[in-house]
Amino acid sequence: MSHSAPNVAPGLGAPGTVRESHDHHEIGFFRKYIFSTDHKVIGIQFMMTGLVMMILGGLMAMAIRWQLAWPWTKMPLIGNLMFPKTGGAITPEFYTMLFTMHGTIMIFFVIIPLLTGAFGNFLIPLQIGAPDMAFPKLNMFGYWAMVPAMLCVVMGFLAEGGGPAAGWTAYPPLSTITSAAPGSLSGQTWWLLALTWVGVSSMMGAVNYVTTIVKMRAPGMTLMRMPLSIWALFIAALLQLFALPVLTAASIMQILDRTLQTGFFTPTNLIVNQMNPEMAGAAAGGQPLLWQHLFWFYSHPAVYIMVVPAMGLASDIIATHARKPIFGYKPMVYSMAAIAGLGFIVWGHHMFASGMNPGLAMTFMVSTIMIALPSAIKVFNWIGTLWGARIRFTTPMLNALAFVAMFIIGGLSGIWMAATPVDIYIHDTYIIVAHFHYVVFGGSVFAIFAAIYHWYPKMFGRMMNETLGKIHFVGSFVFTNCVFYMMHQLGMAGLMRRTADPYDYETYAHLQPLNEFISISAFCLFAWQIFFVINFFWSLGAGKRVGRNPWQASSLEWSAPSPPGHGNFDQELAVHRGPYEYADPDAIEDFSPQWVQNVGAGSDSSRSA
């Protein structure tokens, strides 16, 4: 509706004055906060949904950890409620549903919506100096497409036989043959529908982001003056655009396999549970490996969709709080682009054990090992940014630095797995689990925390409490490492993932104490998030009020009021320099905002703090 609005909200006062910009047309509560087309509101909607889903996914993780530490024992608090038949203990069927839904929720309903949905929406127009997204209505629809997705997920659990149980990777034939697992009755179909809706949502977001970034930058905002967050979100959106159609097609094929017995993925001559699915009318002649190729063709790029935006956010935050220009801006951009490009030719590394041609596996190995290079370049540049800096240990900075520290671990362990002979042993062990939690939890989730602490004042006009923030950070950092570092050790000992009760194996019998340690750390990690929840809600009403630019940052969003009104900016915008001009010796202050022309001595202090 407002995409024809001019770049600058009309009729506003002198640059730099703190004033609330007001809406010119009155809109009702529903249009303003529920069915809003304002990118900021949509971003906050995505954020709240994502955080709530994170609690849900986290609870599932706690149940998983309970089972791994004390298998088949009565679960405290909710055990009797959920499993009356077993006296409060998890059932093996339910365990498979738990890790399936934990992974699904965390990836598709938490990390991707938080990074691209929440921060993509909130930051893109603000950081490039646009009044809103290019297609505000599409944007609103993008958020509301998540609702059927969530309904489908819930329906899966309520369905006969229970939730989907084939893992977040949904490998056929376990996922396509209804007699193969209880959750493969209709739970799996609901899961596939949920995924399709998530895809619709992501697609609308991606179209919007790309168009907005290409078309709606403020005057002077050249591509190489964009904050790295914008570059990252741009690249992630391109990844979505190119990879997502493949997943959507594949999940529709799996839906057809399940409903119309098309048999894309189901081979002939199976005997499942004493039954031949072909006799039951399920066509066959399909190829299970086809699904794996299609799935990973999307889902490998998806892991970069989950980390590239986090890299961008962390870069912005580190430069701001280190009071230094980002080291190697262009290498940072190019390496993200390289990650995205290479990301399309590495999917086979998830299939080294699948039976693919070993010659092909070797080419996937080379491309995968080489994808560690751009990641390494980024790490070196973050470290370079800290060199000679003037670090402020704010909560966002601590979280962003922790992101770097833990991303290093996840990136390095990737090299083990990329090496095909080594991966023979470690494929599907807990080393994999440790690896992706280091990149997704240690990496992306810490970057998300950093970003929430950093942009909260812009979203709500108030600071989050620093003391609570630091308490939250220290505990989270310690417990995260206790949980996930030790998983490497489990994996080294050969422990397989997705094993409900490993201790009957001689190989694993001695691992229980270690699993207990991990589980206890995980419960602490979960409980520790209470500091974040309290801080988040308490600060909404009681946080210290802020002006436009509490962090003395120099990217464009900080020129707008906090929170920005409809149309975002209340001053004529022109961009004069790159986003990271901190510590310029010729400038009066240690930051030179993008929107201020003259920062040198003798210029008026038209910047607000």
Partner 1 sequence: MRILFTLLLLVMTVLGVWTFIDSETFLFGPQPEGYTWWWPAEISTYGEDIDFLFYLISGMILVFFVLTEGLLLWFVFKYGAKRPDKGAFSHGNHRLEFLWTGIPALLLLVIAFSQMSTFASIKFRSAIEDEPVFCDIWGSQFDWRFHYPGADGRLGTVDDLQSPFELVVPDDQKIVMNLRSRDVLHSFFIPKMRLKQDAVPGMTFPIWFQADPEQVALESKNHFDIICAELCGWGHYKMSGRVRVVSRSEYEAWLEEMTAKQFDNGFEAD
Looking at the Cβ atoms of 107 and 553, the one nearer to Cu ion is 107
Measured distance CA(255)–CA(266) in Å, rounded: 12
**Residues touching partner 1, count (CB under 8 A):** 114
When asked if residue 462 is in the footprint of Cu ion (CB under 5 A), the reply is: no
Measured distance CA(555)–CA(208) in Å, rounded: 21
Angle, CA of 462, 130 and 134, to the nearest 5°: 120
When asked if residue 502 is in the footprint of partner 1 (CB under 8 A), the reply is: yes
Looking at the Cβ atoms of 145 and 406, the one nearer to partner 1 is 406
Least Å distance, CB 238 to ligand HEM, is: 17
Q: Which of residues 148-167 bind partner 1 (CB under 8 A)?
A: 165-167
When asked if residue 427 is in the footprint of Cu ion (CB under 5 A), the reply is: no
Looking at the Cβ atoms of 34 and 424, the one nearer to partner 1 is 424
- On whether the CB atoms of residues 166 and 258 are closer than 8 A, the answer is no
Q: Which of residues 500-559 bind Cu ion (CB under 5 A)?
A: none
When asked if residue 427 is in the footprint of partner 1 (CB under 8 A), the reply is: yes
Measured distance CA(99)–CA(367) in Å, rounded: 30
When asked if residue 488 is in the footprint of Cu ion (CB under 5 A), the reply is: no
Angle between helices 39-69 and 121-128 (to 10 degrees): 140
Least Å distance, CB 191 to ligand HEM, is: 15
> Rounded to whole angstroms, what are the CA distances from 251 to 193, 241, 254?
8, 16, 5
Give 23-29 contacts, CB < 8 A, sequence gap 24+.
Answer: 23/565, 23/566, 24/566
Q: DSSP state, 545?
A: B
Residues that bind ligand HEM (CB under 6 A): 169, 303, 306-307, 349-350, 352, 368, 371-372, 375, 411, 414-415, 417-418, 423, 427-428, 432, 435-436, 439-440, 443-444
Instruction: Decide which of ligand HEM, partner 1, Cu ion, none touches 177; Cβ closer than 5 to 8 Å per partner kind.
Output: partner 1
When asked if residue 467 is in the footprint of partner 1 (CB under 8 A), the reply is: no
Angle between helices 395-418 and 430-437 (to 10 degrees): 150
Instruction: Decide which of partner 1, ligand HEM, Cu ion, none touches 362; Cβ closer than 5 to 8 Å per partner kind.
Output: partner 1
Select from 191-199, 304-312, 426-434, 556-564 the region that touches partner 1 (CB under 8 A).
426-434
- On whether the CB atoms of residues 576 and 594 are closer than 8 A, the answer is yes
Q: What b/e string do you get for 187-196 counting C-beta neighbours within 10 Å, with b at 16 or more?
A: bbbbbbbbbb
Locate all alpha helices (DSSP H) within 109-171, ordered by sequence: 112, 121-128, 136-144, 146-158
When asked if residue 300 is in the footprint of Cu ion (CB under 5 A), the reply is: yes
Site for partner 1 (CB under 8 A): which residue of 96, 315, 519, 535?
96
Q: Which two tokens stand for residue 206?
A: 């991606």
Least Å distance, CB 411 to ligand HEM, is: 4
> Rounded to whole angstroms, what are the CA distances from 90 to 186, 218, 497, 512?
21, 56, 17, 17
- On whether the CB atoms of residues 397 and 321 are closer than 8 A, the answer is yes
Looking at the Cβ atoms of 374 and 564, the one nearer to partner 1 is 374
Instruction: Decide which of ligand HEM, partner 1, Cu ion, none touches 504; Cβ closer than 5 to 8 Å per partner kind.
Output: partner 1
Measured distance CA(76)–CA(62) in Å, rounded: 11
- On whether the CB atoms of residues 216 and 134 are closer than 8 A, the answer is yes
Angle, CA of 48, 441 and 50, to the nearest 5°: 15
Instruction: Decide which of Cu ion, ligand HEM, partner 1, none touches 67; Cβ closer than 5 to 8 Å per partner kind.
Output: none
Instruction: Decide which of partner 1, ligand HEM, Cu ion, none touches 432; Cβ closer than 5 to 8 Å per partner kind.
Output: ligand HEM
What is the x/- site pattern for partner 1, positions 296-335, by CB under 8 A? Answer: --------------------------xxxxxxxxxx----
Measured distance CA(603)–CA(592) in Å, rounded: 12
When asked if residue 435 is in the footprint of Cu ion (CB under 5 A), the reply is: no
When asked if residue 458 is in the footprint of Cu ion (CB under 5 A), the reply is: no
Site for partner 1 (CB under 8 A): which residue of 256, 474, 524, 540?
474
Instruction: Decide which of partner 1, Cu ion, ligand HEM, none touches 436; Cβ closer than 5 to 8 Å per partner kind.
Output: ligand HEM
